[in-house]
Structure 1
Amino acid sequence: MTAPGRRSSTFSRLLRHGFTDPSAAERLLESAELEPVRSDPVLLDALGATADPDLALHGLVRLVEAHDGHTAQRELLDTLIAAKPLRDRLLGVLGASAALADHLARHPSDWQALVTYEPQDLHPGVAEFERGLAGATDPVSLRVAYRRCLLSIAARDVCGTTDLAQTAAELADLATATLRAALAIARTAAPEDAALCRLAVIAMGKCGGHELNYVSDVDVIFVGEAVDGADEGKAVQAATRLASHMMRICSETTIEGSIWPVDANLRPEGRNGPLVRTLSSHLAYYQRWAKTWEFQALLKARPVAGDIELGEEYVATLAPLVWHAAERDNFVADVQKMRRRVVENIPATQIERELKLGPGGLRDVEFAVQLLQLVHARADTSLRSGTTLDALKALAAGGYVGRADAVQLDAAYRFLRSMEHRIQLYRLRRTHLVPENEADLRRIGRSLGLRSDPVVELNREWKRHAAVVRRLHEKLFYRPLLDAVAQLAPGEARLSPDAARERLVALGYADPAAALRHLEALASGVTRKAAIQRTLLPVLLGWFADSADPDAGLLNFRKVSDALGKTPWYLRLLRDEGAAAENLARVLSAGRLAPDLLMRAPEAVALLGDGDGGGLEPRSRAHLEQEILAAVGRATGGEQAVTAARGVRRRELFRTAAADIVASYGTEETPAVADQGALVDLVGGAVSDLTAATLAGTLRAVVRDGWGETLPTRFTIIGMGRFGGHELGYGSDADVLFVHEPRDGVDEQEAARAANAVVSEMRRLLQIPSTDPPLLIDADLRPEGKSGPLVRTLKSYEAYYRRWSLVWESQALLRAEVVAGDDDLGRRFIELVDPLRYPAEGLGDEAVREIRRLKARMESERLPRGADPTLHTKLGRGGLSDVEWTVQLLQLQQGWVEPGLRTTRTRAALAAACAAELLSTEDAAILDEAWVLATRVRNAVMLVRGRAGDTFPSGGRELAAVGRYLGYGPGHVGDMLDDYRRTTRRARAVVEELFYGA
């Protein structure tokens, strides 16, 4: 029995070395056999450096116990103490793989296989593995030899001696050697079959690509031919028997377990087709019947066993079909559809943990790379690698993928594959699901070098890399950069008009003939301008194709280029400032509003080229007001002044729309903004500030023209509704109240005439017909509504609110905020209405019932006939009105005691209500998500259609464009509508409870 003091010291050491169960570890170390481990700090340090010290110690104990006699056990431990490379390899494997620990417990002498790997032998190939398997003459001995070789690969892997690509290549080479050994056993068992036929084994999938997992099906295709003089039918039958036997040798389970399944389902006709075909039969099938995905699969075909000469002939014969598969009808659509089908078939309970097939998983990288290879490797043979990382490197070198994108994809793929390797290595089971158990996650994290907080760090890195893959997959997979304009360069007419049209159709252009006319107009000729356009257009075409309406993007680009083509800075900006060209492509193809604004002020393209992003940063209200007032000051009359103010407004609306679009789409360098609420706040704040500055400029122009510098009455404008809440959308009216107060010594009637004249002239000037988006002033929230005077004195407002104010007016005043005019008068108006909108002691029961009655009446009477209540953003279920009325009821009831509720902004009031525990965090999040989403949809509709709307467009292109703005890729419009309905349905349930008291 160990003394308590010593036990405590050992316990602490074990805890310090990363053992999660130091008590159990301490008991294991009590045995006499492990005295060298217990007493030697070197071994404890080495155990602590493993992925799972507890697992490593347990495996070491089993290995020591498996050795007969004290001498053999002592020799093992002494060797580990003396030889650091061996110690790291063996303990590293034991700490990462329970399955290999099991193997060593059954075959204790196999640990010596790790002694032989010195630096010059670190990366064995097929020949070395064949020597390692040479003694295997039956399935059982083959499995033992296979695991021994696998042990050496895993040791180099977990110790970092090999990287991900080298490990995957070694696993593929070991699989190759194993297939050859299995085929040799089958041939020995049936020499008469071997004498009749030539049999080639073609590796497919990850084995063919030299990038195999630890545990994976090994995909193969078999090609058989008769030897000279043999009957072809009998030869194929003999080859089929040999192939079947070889598959059984590898796949069947014995007392030593299995190796891996050999899967031949990628052959022509799949499992329904013959296992072995002749070369001519293969060729006939692929020429007549093969589907697009079958050519994609052949991209990785590689002869590995049997008759290598026949295998190489097979690959060479089919290669022309593979590299021209992109010319097939609907090629791009077929490949995209297959990828979507893979995702759709993942069980909902697993999709978040699917490392391989889920969104942002390994398959996304592989599919994107393979599609780009199939498109571009017809002409560029440097791209014809079956290995994903090598192909990605070649695509970047050739300019088909941006270098920054390639670096990110490479890093993400390596991390995700390393995770997959560590998950499979533990039990040597075929799985791609990230485990949920914390101990498993800890082991995986530590094995990848994440030691501070392995579980948290692993999840963070995994999600980060998956997000990168998902974004770049959408960008590359759905937007192959085809060389659609190659025929336009003088002397390089490589494509016929028909081929060019087909290429444009593959990119998603609905009117390829018109697209070709635009391209010819832009890029034909020998001028410097045409040369620059020929450099830009292939990339721009891809960016346009990333949108829902590529044709509109190209047309708009031609219009802007026609307007600015002679301006020296324009093409230089697009060529030399990387972000400018992509930002322009996003803006021109995202809908009608931003291009329409740009066409009326093409010089605003310069805003897109600010390298630090400041060019798209919305200007502050003070900055805007200063600029507009200066422009008004230079104008010679009211109409010219308002024209100048409109010019600033047009440019700033474009700036805001462009910032919104670029942030929603993302760029080569910057992913799409994930925080949708931030984008809503950006647009709402920018448009509201711009509207306030425009009204301030118009007011200054009217006063100057009619009265000089001083109006006979003080005058202020109060923003109401979304305007007062800093929540205006691109197409929102400006709800306002007009307030005035006669100056000292001025007759009230004279002051009233002046104030009414100001309002009338402001409205007239702002309603002058213009091609700009209208700025409509709506004063219907004033006392007595449309029946009341447009402008009142502060005393008149006070008298009205004191005697006649209704509860709906108190609710409307929750959004009241000074936006222009006399600040002191505005401040006093706000002080006047504060007691109304934040009533002392809150609302009485009758007032609450009245608000509920008004809301119910509005729902039943104001929803347009035929509108779908589940998709109407303003009045529909769980839409803007539902959320806002719920928040406003809380403000009316609790604003007098909760200062945070005294805000005009919906989201800020909702956050304050949550902080005050007036509703749960979950309910607040549900309402916020619905409000943000509905606002985003309204902004999207205005951006896409160029006119305001409260529901989703009905047209397919417009609906797809709204989806693209909201982050939904091609083919996912249905998902967008389902998500909207689901989000707003949850919000309506909260509204029913909080607002209606259900």
Structure 2
Amino acid sequence: LERILAASSEAASLIDGWLQQPAALSGVAQLCATSQLLADILREDAPAFSRQLSSGPARRSAEELLAGGRAATSVPGGHAARLDGLRLFKRRELLRIAARDILRVASFGELVEEISDLAGAGLQVALELCWEAVPVPELPAQVGAPDEWWREFAVIAMGKLGARELNYSSDVDLLFVHEPPRAPNAEAPEVVGRYFTRLSQALIDAVGALTGDGGLFRVDLRLRPEGGAGALSRTLEAYATYWESWAAPWERQALIKASGVAGSAGLAARFVRLAREFVYGKRIDTTGLADIKSVKHRIEASARRSGGERNVKLGPGGIRDIEFTVQLLQLIFGAQDERIRKRSTLGALRALGAAGYLSATEHQTLASAYVFLRTLEHQLQLMHGLSLRELPADERALGKLARRLEFPPDESTPPADLLLAEFRRHTANARGLFGKLFAEMLEERDESDLRARSLVLTAESAEADLSALAEFGLRDASRSLGALRRLAHGTVTAPLPPSVAERFADLAPRVLRAAARTPDPDASVLNFERFCALIGSPGALYSILAEEPEVIDMLVRVAGCSASLSGILAAHPEYFDMLMDPGLMTAVRSVGKLTGELAVRLDDARDAPARLATIARFRRRELLRVGVRDLMGDADVETTIIELSALAEVCLRGVYDTLAPEVAGLSAEALPFVVVGMGKLAGQELHYNSDLDVMFVWTDGPPPFENRQSLYSRLAGEILSRVAADGAGAGPPLKIDARLRPEGQSGPLARSVASCREYYDHRAETWERLALIRTRLVAGSPAAWEAFRAVTEPFLWSRALAPEEVAAVAHVKQRIERERARTEGGRIDVKLGVGGISDIEFCVQLLQLAHGPADPSLRVPSTLGGLRALARAGRFASPADAQALEAAYLFLRRVECRLQLVHAWDESTVDPDPASFGRLARLLGDRRAAEGGSADDLAEELRCHRHQVRNIYQQTVQQLVGRDSSPDAAQGG
């Protein structure tokens, strides 16, 4: 108080004010007794602050702090003078906040939020000053950079600032991210990169420099990729690449609290979204937990050397133990539970308690310990503004600290002893919970099988050992065992440590048992080795597989059953994480869900090529997901074909929505244009390699383009060519077929509704009525779709097929079967051959056209839906016929889909030999596959289905044509 009065030119009036306002005097006295730092700041303008104390210092919002910081820099002088103004503002605001703390008018939560908001305001204003001070380079010609491209820079807060729980004397942990303009000129990225590096360094200097007015905040950039050796600022793409390929497990933990604090809000939001995908995209494995725990041990060892158990932050049961406990629970359960993805420690504790991951007692124990320890840490830091974390060893200093924390004097127990007792109680509770939860997280599971372990771990094997492997169906046991040993021990050039070998040896029995259930056990083991090599990090991978053994079954089955899926996974090992996600792998994904996810992925695509590439990647990923669900028996065939159809529809709509603005200059919604789905796309019954049959139709409505026909044909052509040019990478290409349009390949790609009306009224052939049964709006204008339907519905349903028309259709089918069915060498074509899928489709469509004109309930675009509607209406010769057709259709479609998974997508035929049927039985997951005889059973089941289907088809055609027609026409061949 004496120094404050000595430094004030208004000492007399200051004393008068204190006498008139005892609350102000009491507040000043408490501040001076608590903190030398605050007393020093108070001396700068004691009268003004005393007036604040008389009425109680009020809380200021983040917006008010930002406005105050900007006003403080509106001073004469250059960059340095303005930064001095910002530093002075920070000191005075810190005094106000601390006064609210010391006078007990702010809760702990309010306090740390306001300190954090002050830091955020300071960083934003400092960045604005640096934007003005750092020269912006002129980019090379032809870059096409947007105005103010340099503002695509964001400051990301980590640690306590990111969580809005900053200390009085915390470092601010920061990352910098920038987004460069699109730059076809090769020099531009270097110019842009150098600019953002200079801007980052200028901001570090502005915030961290110490002057006569102190500094703003100490900046810590060690959490950035590659630590102190890493670039100061990186692009979003560079962060993503680093996280996917190089990041250590503790870096996932560090990113839990990441949030934007200054600069471009949009860029910061994209960074945080990307970071959260990295943090919560998969559950952390035991190896990752062990890595984080080793980091924690190193920190604790350092703390023991410099203070030990009295370290409030780093000692046993200290603040860091509580933060680790919370963050590890978030890493383990946050992948499946969004409720616990909170940045702040207290917020996360509340969420973990509410979600049941902590009991009410555990939550209360950790929360009360955290608030106590953080409050204690604040008091340690307030005295001199230093980052102190250890309880004073001096008894007198400890007593003063206890009194500042309001531990009451007691005749029998000094305040210092009360403080120590409370400190030990909280830290013991927190440490106990930390140890208990960590032990549960790192619990090991033993699934070893002695024989398989010894085979994998030993260097050589006797013939008896190799013959033992034959029990698992391995024909080339020596080669497969070599693969297993490489998985355990590595190679000569890249050996694996013994601990990793032991870990894989525990998994080997499960691998072998899973391989035995596949059509080719040797291929399963060899491809499994290839997958593991592509995924990398054997130690971490084997830990994941130990925790999720069903993933072994899945990977081995994919490896041994499906060249198609193996190709995708081999080309994109990053999809492995998706296969580990039970939420994704068990759920049926509708058009709505797929549309929403694709829209999120398209947010960052800047132009049509980028959007089309994003759609292709999305399709490959989803195709793998659907295929694995199918192969593992997690989805029946009806669900599989519906999901494949939904995926194709969403991707096709995404292509149309992308290309419509590029070609027509208007959004897809604004064009009177429709992509009509036909065939299996319309019926939502696609297989893995189906063409997407479509028709492009437009109406005469607005906008009034000069040459609509040319424009819409060009749009249709762009859809076809751009999709074909994109290819599919490791998956089947997205093939669009527009040949079912009027006049086929000789007609225009896109037709007006009026042109369609003229064609269907006067020139259409009978088979086109069958084709039009299966039509559905897939993309484009609902109004144009309704206009098209108004044309096709009368053509379809105004009358039943005449007998001669049925005969003509039967002849068309006979020709298709003769020319296109692949039956050479006795092969069985389950799609186009005798009694195949095509028989069922024609049968259903003929009956729909026979009875649909009188019964609208039969006008269904899908084969299964039409079959079931006809059965309900009693339109089959008997209910048994309907049941036989439905059972055969589901069986044949299941065989077709599985054949495509095995044979790189393009296959629908079965070899007639027993070995082929045996492999098909295992591919279908037939439980009898390991018992022998299953091949004969399966062959007989297929024969019966085909025989029944052909008989029902022939009877249906005969009934509709009439008994006097030729036998060939009636039978369709």
Provide the TM-score with structure 2 as the length reference: 0.49
Provide the TM-score with structure 1 as the length reference: 0.47
